[in-house]
Amino acid sequence: MNIREPVVANQFYPGNPSLLKDMILSFFKDKNIPDIKENVHALIVPHAGYTYSGKTAAYAFKQIQNKQYDSVIIIGPSHSAVFDGISVYPEGKFKTPLGNIEIDKNLTDKIISFDSRIIDATEPHIEEHSIEVMLPFLQVALDNFKIVPVCMGSYDFSTCNKLADAILNAIGHTNKVLIIASSDFYHGHSYEECKQSTTESANLIASNNIEEFYNHFYKNSAACGGAPIVTTMLVEKKLQNNKITLLNLTNSGDVTGVKAGYVVGYASLAITK
Q: Which pLDDT belongs to residue 210?
A: 97
Predicted confidence at residue 173, as pLDDT, reads: 86
pLDDT by residue (tens digit) across 188-224? 999 999 999 999 999 999 999 999 999 999 999 999 9
Quote the pLDDT of residue 185.
98
Tell me the per-residue pLDDT of 93-133, one tens digit each, with 9 for 90 and over: 999 999 999 999 999 999 999 999 999 999 999 999 999 99
What is the tens place of the pLDDT at every residue in 220-268? Answer: 999 999 999 999 999 999 999 989 999 999 999 999 999 999 999 999 9
Average of per-residue pLDDT across 32-50: 97
| 3-class DSSP string for the chain | CCEECCCCECCCECCCHHHHHHHHHHHHCCCCCCCCCCCEEEEEECCCCHHHHHHHHHHHHHHHCCCCCCEEEEEEECCCCCCCCEEECCCCEEEECCEEEEECHHHHHHHHCCCCCEEECCHHHCCCHHHHCCHHHHHHHCCCCEEEEEEECCCCHHHHHHHHHHHHHHHCCCCCEEEEEECCCCEECCHHHHHHHHHHHHHHHHCCCHHHHHHHHHHHCCCCCHHHHHHHHHHHHHCCCCEEEEEEEEEHHHHHCCCCCCEEEEEEEEEEC
Query: What is the tally of structural domains in the chain?
Result: 1
pLDDT score of 174: 86
Confidence of residue 86 (pLDDT cuts 50, 70, 90): very high
Q: Tell me: pLDDT of 1 over 90.
A: no
CATH of the domain at 240: 3.40.830.10
Domain of residue 183 covers 3-272
